Amino acid sequence: MIELEQLKEIAKESAADGDRNLAIVLYAYLGAVHARRDDVFATYCQVFARHGLDAIDRQISERN
C-alpha cells in the first residue's frame, strides 16, 4: 500500500508540475485522513463518480 508520505510527495510534485487538479484531490484526501474522515471522502468520491457516469450515459444517449 502507498504511504501517506509518498502521497504528500506526489501532491507536491503535481502542484509544481502544473497538475493542480491531482494535487487538489490528493491534498483533500490527505486532509480527510488527518481528520479521520477518509470514509466520508471516499463516499463523496463514489457519489461523484456515479453522478459522472450518469451524465456520460445521458450524453451518449443524446448522440444516438
CA distance 34 to 28: 10
By three-state DSSP, how is residue 37 classified? coil
CA separation for the pair 27, 57 (Å, rounded): 30
Q: Helices marked H in 1-64 — which ranges?
A: 4-16, 20-34, 38-63
**Is pLDDT above 80 for 64?**
no
- pLDDT tens per residue, range 11-60: 999 999 999 999 999 999 999 999 999 999 999 999 999 998 888 888 88
